[in-house]
Amino acid sequence: MPTLKCDVKNCSYNECNYCSLDYIHVGKEGATNKEATCCESFNEGEYVASNCAKEPEEVVQIKCSATQCVYNANEECRAEYVPISSTSTACCACEDTLCEAFISK
């Protein structure tokens, strides 16, 4: 499973730049570049750095609908490292996020 690093500060699942979920869904079937991908698991919420008391998982399962990515194997991500980032400072929807690991086939 990939190591996930999340730089989306206002996602409610972001804990110390890691995801507190056991798995995430990277979306956008038919995406041909990283800008066309998004984190379908994004949930807008307050990010408070002082809330980093628990140990989030660095390694998570990633379901991926971006079938044109070289790391996609039967809708599972096979990349070793997956950075998720935001396209703006204030994400409001999954479309404001993207998967930096995407490489087109």
Task: Let me know: does 86 contact 7? Beta carbons within 8 Å.
Answer: yes
- Residue 91: pLDDT band (50, 70, 90) is confident
Cα 46–Cα 4–Cα 68 angle in degrees, nearest 5: 110
Cα 100–Cα 65–Cα 13 angle in degrees, nearest 5: 60
pLDDT at position 47 = 56
- Residue 94: pLDDT band (50, 70, 90) is confident
Task: Let me know: does 26 contact 66? Beta carbons within 8 Å.
Answer: yes
pLDDT at position 36 = 95
- Residue 92: pLDDT band (50, 70, 90) is confident
Task: Let me know: does 3 contact 81? Beta carbons within 8 Å.
Answer: yes
